[in-house]
Copies of this chain bind each other. A is one copy, B any other.
């Protein structure tokens, strides 16, 4: 390994001053005369000095990075764009402060816990972002026991166990969706949801039951794994009921688009006989035919916001949990009043 790296003492030697003088000068701190400061800066610049990141981390106990564990399986990651949009927003915001995103993958909940414990014990990151919080999630307990590690949870505050969370406005979204279906005249609506163990699924379930009860609508719900196969299967089951729903809301875009195919196969016309709505918007919803009405969440902005909150926590500020800006419903061709 070539060690062409320039250190502070190299600069000190070249400038004919002490290493502390160099350190003060480079960090713009008092303790050196203007003359030596100028000389040091000039020499350091000419020698191409940059602070060694490991040494800096060791010295001030910060790594200038936040951690994210990817747990989705490859299948899902290849299809959904949520994680990529989130990463995009996160890194863009972190960039402004010179922070990095440290990404690791885990093939199971257990191995994710191992990575998180390692981060806490080794100080490899300054903060952590947690996704897909489940009911009774062990990660909540872990970070509750380690208040020294800043952590932000993307989940409803009801399951963050007192930790700081950035929540989706699920209640508001459910209201928006149910209201829209009601206005179109639908009386029987259904939902094809994500896995029941996920916190946000639980929150959505409750919100949907409330909203539909309020308007006296019939409501049924299936829980799945977000895959197109499950989307198709649930759609078939729902449409073969004696009194099938006339509007179905899918918890992600992939299932909604897959459902279009199923409807076509069964000879059910969209939107004349069936309205299909996706809880997630994406390019998929835009290019399918018919295009799919969807709830747009602006995940990139969410990434920015998450990074901002984490950076503030790392700065020692007391950051309160908050609810993200409400989603917007994007009207497209897959929804409408019953016809014929």
Give the B-binding residues of A (Cβ under 8 A).
Answer: 1-2, 4-6, 48-55, 57-58, 61, 63, 65, 70, 72, 74, 77-79, 81, 83-85, 87-89, 91-92, 94-95, 100-107, 111, 118, 121-124, 146-148, 228, 254, 257-258, 260-261, 264, 282-284, 287-289, 299-300
Contacts and interface: CB of A to CB of B under 8 A. Distances in A.
Given A74-B92, A78-B283, A84-B83, A121 B288 contact: no
B88 A105 contact: yes
Contacts of A83: 84
A287 B257 contact: yes
Contacts of A264: 289
B81 A78 contact: yes
25 contacts: A5-B123, A50-B122, A52-B122, A53-B57, A53-B63, A53-B122, A53-B124, A54-B61, A54-B123, A55-B58, A58-B58, A65-B102, A74-B92, A77-B88, A78-B282, A78-B300, A87-B87, A91-B103, A100-B102, A100-B104, A228-B283, A261-B287, A264-B289, A284-B284, A289-B289
B103 A74 contact: no
Contacts of A118: 50
B123 A105 contact: no
Given A5-B121, A53-B57, 9 more contacts: A1-B61, A53-B123, A54-B54, A74-B89, A77-B81, A95-B104, A95-B111, A258-B287, A261-B289
Contacts of A2: 147-148
Contact of A81 (B72, B81, B88, B147): B81
Number of copies: 2
Given A50-B118, A58-B54, A103 B105 contact: no
B102 A52 contact: no
Contacts of A70: 87-88, 91
Contact of A57 (B51, B57, B95, B228): B57
Contacts of A123: 5, 52-54
Nearest to A119: B53
A283 B254 contact: yes
Nearest to A76: B88
A118 B57 CA distance: 15
Contacts of A261: 287, 289
A5 B118 CA distance: 12
